[in-house]
Structure 1
Amino acid sequence: MTTDTATDPADERLRRWRLVLGPDTAAGATGGIAALGSADGAMDRALDALYGGDDTLGSGPRAAGLGASAPCVARWLGDIRTYFPASVVQVMQRDAVDRLGLASLLLEPEMLEAAEPDVHLAGTLLSLHQAMPETTRTTARAVVRRVVADLEKRLAARTRATLTGALDRSARTGRPRHRDIDWDRTIRANLKNYLPEYRTVVPERLIGYGRASQAVKKEVILCIDQSGSMAASVVYASVFGAVLASLRALETRLVVFDTSVADLTGQLSDPVDVLFGTRLGGGTDINRALAYCQSRITRPAETVVVLISDLYEGGIRDGMLERVAAMKAAGVQFVVLLALSDEGAPAYDREHAAALAALGAPAFACTPDLFPEVMAAALEKRPLPVPDGAARPPGAPAP
């Protein structure tokens, strides 16, 4: 953050209070010290454009001053990127969209070029992309691609490593053919059977893998609610879907839904194509989406279904629960993520979450950093790392 130099601690405290309170109230609260230097003045104007004034958000002089034209907003975005760190810029951008009705201005290329790319901006662009003119779509796609590239850089390597290990462990067999014995793991597992007089280990338990030609691939179905409240989850899930699809030991399917269902599996090689194939907003029919997923399951015992939804069902509630129960009874590992994001505790239908937990499908919010561990546990058919406060199956132990 760029600031003017304050030589006295008391003056520094007054300066900070002046920036917090704004020009209209600061003079009295700070004992009349309201003058700011050039850099602080620019910061103050940027803050006041978003948070100042007495009018209702989204209307009146304040909205007109900031929202009259895209070039004005682009200049404002340039100012806040100059005077505030990226984490603060992202918060201010989200506040600008929410408080001042700037969604329509995201349709202008110059505004997008000035924006600080993050998951929330990507979600907003995806919700508006069908209304964008062609010139803006190119810019919007470039912004989303920058967000996706950053997420892949942060998440892909760890996800591949975690899931590859889980797949190796799940494929391990205790009765391998001689040529399929994993001697390194076998020796380490039988060190207690070392015979000093013979200087050898008796392999009481063999560990190995089945022949590649006989290996059964695991199937993963990501079923993603694309209602407007799930925007950040859709972005993260699309990136993870592409990472899962890159693992040869997995067959990955990606399904998105609102009141209709779309199978985007064919686009998994490029998460950006997946994202621009979604339609954020609209209603929700979880039962219909699960019916489609259920129809695509060929090996239930080797399948993991991940439903990412806030569970506000607009379809047939009993049908949704019956489908989950049927998949669980057939051997499917069923996971319910109320959100896949870093946004904190999500809003969700608690009654439906409890009903799913009663069926043995815990429902919980999951951060992107936790997702690889959740998938690894599901693939290995071991208890999920469910956070505190989540809806748990009856009798499930606390983490």
Structure 2
Amino acid sequence: MTRQYEPAQPHEPTFADDQAMLRRWRLILGRYAESELPTAQQDREIDQALGYLYDRQYTSRGHRHGTGTRPAKTGGGSQGSAPTAVSWLHATREFFPQSTFERMERDAITTYGMDDLLANPDTVESLPADPALAATLLRMRGKLNPETAQGLRILIRKVVEDILERLKPKFATSLTGSRQRFRRSFHASSKNLDWRKTIAVNLKNVDPNTGRMLIDDVRFVSRQRRQNLNWDVIVLVDQSGSMAQSLLHASVSAAIMSGLAGVNVSLLLFDTSIVDMTHLAHDPVEVLMTSQLGGGTDIARALAYAEQRVTQPSRTVIALISDFDEGGPVASLISTTRRLAESGVTMLGLAALEDNGTPWYNESVAGRLAGAGMDIAAMTPDRFAEWLGEVMA
């Protein structure tokens, strides 16, 4: 027997639904809808915070601010004082969810020119260590007021320190540590648990009645530093305009590697010219503050320059970080890549990452580079550390 279902009855809007809809429209339309959709008292400060930022879209076109209501007949006013950038920032953090606040904060600095946020040390200290915001500011650094330079440096340092904290253990373990297995250890810890080996050696201890495994032999791994580690790592970073996020992570990765014994790091930034930043490789903040994002791309020239620095091909890694959007003759790039690969140099090509972490690169050029002997991948910086560890094992 087929069951019959009654169609759902349409929902009749309630008074609360109507009020919620009117509130949303009032916040969307702004103060100019005040005469028809008065602001509720609890939304007045939210409305002011939104207007303080997004009214700049109109004032930039020459429009004057209005109140949205007929002018009062008396000279006095009852409106609150206009917010400063700092008080606006604190109010916005209180009124909106974190994701919305961070979006408005980014719009304020990058779209609406509120450089005074970066000029205030207290404000900068309160900003999150957001790589996307840092990358955006690096791209537009030349357009910021000189007074904001110190604030930008503080923000960049916060982001760098946050990335360092996350990546340094990965690079240290991948490049200078090797695994040695043993049964028991006085230094056993959960992070060193070798769960695959533990399961394998205890399979015979399964209770036939319950199916549970009884663990009486726990295996761990220990870390032992590699001996005679001696590698040259040449990091080539494309500094065209789309590469800000990748440059940020590459400079931190180079700084970490420059502090590891037995790893000699060269850091080269390029567009159509080449800037040797090896002397600053230990200081990613200074690298980022002196880099010049923008311009064209000549990968072949940069790769040929790196070739001149190779002294021991079999123990040299060239890590090219780029969108592979070559501006010069691709044939020259392929020829240099093939020559380096045939000499024994390990060639790694890392695709550019957008601000949201999505890889973007010229697949045609990347495919030809792969055919010439360069390993191509799109990966996060922590995976890059593991990749380096694998090729330098």
Alignment TM class, shorter chain as reference: 0.5 to 0.7
Following the alignment from structure 2 to structure 1, what is the Cα–Cα distance between the partners of residues 298 and 356?
A: 24
Matched, 1:143 2:155: yes
Which ranges of structure 2 fall in alignment gaps of 5 or more residues?
A: 1-13, 68-82, 180-196, 198-223
Contact 1:336–1:363 under 8 Å retained in 2: yes
Instruction: After superposition, give the CA deviation of every residue in 1:275-294 in whole Å (9 maximum; x if it has no partner).
Output: 12211112221111111111
Following the alignment from structure 2 to structure 1, what is the Cα–Cα distance between the partners of residues 129 and 66?
A: 25
Following the alignment from structure 2 to structure 1, what is the Cα–Cα distance between the partners of residues 326 and 171?
A: 30
Which range is displaced more, 314-323 or 232-241? Answer: 314-323
Q: CA deviation at 1:210?
A: 12
Matching residue within 318, 322, 339 for 1:309: 322
Q: Aligned in 2, Cα 1:82/1:314: closer, same or farther, shift over 3 Å?
A: same
Residue aligned with 1:236, SS: helix
Matching residue within 11, 29, 35 for 1:24: 29
* Alignment match, 1:172: none
Matched, 1:127 2:139: yes
Q: CA deviation at 1:59?
A: 4.2
**TM-score normalised per structure 1:** 0.66
Aligned residues: 320
Contact 1:220–1:303 under 8 Å retained in 2: yes
Matched, 1:89 2:88: no
Q: Aligned in 2, Cα 1:89/1:153: closer, same or farther, shift over 3 Å?
A: farther
Q: Aligned in 2, Cα 1:109/1:33: closer, same or farther, shift over 3 Å?
A: closer
* Alignment match, 1:230: 243
Following the alignment from structure 2 to structure 1, what is the Cα–Cα distance between the partners of residues 21 and 351?
A: 39
Matched residues, percent identical? 35
* Alignment match, 1:80: 92
What does 1:1-399 align with in structure 2 at a 5 Å threshold?
11=16, 15=20, 18-19=23-24, 22-24=27-29, 36-38=40-42, 40-47=43-50, 59=61, 61=63, 72-96=84-108, 99-100=111-112, 102=113, 108-109=119-120, 112=124, 115-129=127-141, 135-165=147-177, 168=178, 215=228, 217-340=230-353, 343-380=356-393
Following the alignment from structure 2 to structure 1, what is the Cα–Cα distance between the partners of residues 305 and 248?
A: 22
Instruction: After superposition, give the CA deviation of every residue in 1:292-312 in whole Å (9 maximum; x if it has no partner).
Output: 111111111111111111122
Following the alignment from structure 1 to structure 2, what is the Cα–Cα distance between the partners of residues 330 and 277?
A: 34
Q: Which amino acid aligns with 1:301?
A: S
Q: Which amino acid aligns with 2:341?
A: K
Following the alignment from structure 2 to structure 1, what is the Cα–Cα distance between the partners of residues 151 and 226?
A: 48
Instruction: After superposition, give the CA deviation of every residue in 1:82-120 in whole Å (9 maximum; x if it has no partner).
Output: 3345444333333445554x3866774577566444223
Q: Aligned in 2, Cα 1:323/1:141: closer, same or farther, shift over 3 Å?
A: same
Residue aligned with 2:358, SS: coil
Q: Aligned in 2, Cα 1:278/1:64: closer, same or farther, shift over 3 Å?
A: farther
Q: Aligned in 2, Cα 1:147/1:211: closer, same or farther, shift over 3 Å?
A: closer
Q: Which amino acid aligns with 2:29?
A: D
Residue aligned with 2:232, SS: strand
Following the alignment from structure 2 to structure 1, what is the Cα–Cα distance between the partners of residues 137 and 56?
A: 28
* Alignment match, 2:3: none
Contact 1:226–1:258 under 8 Å retained in 2: yes
The higher radius of gyration belongs to 2
Q: CA deviation at 1:230?
A: 0.9
Following the alignment from structure 1 to structure 2, what is the Cα–Cα distance between the partners of residues 115 and 211?
A: 40
Which ranges of structure 1 fall in alignment gaps of 5 or more residues?
A: 1-8, 66-70, 170-187, 189-208, 381-399
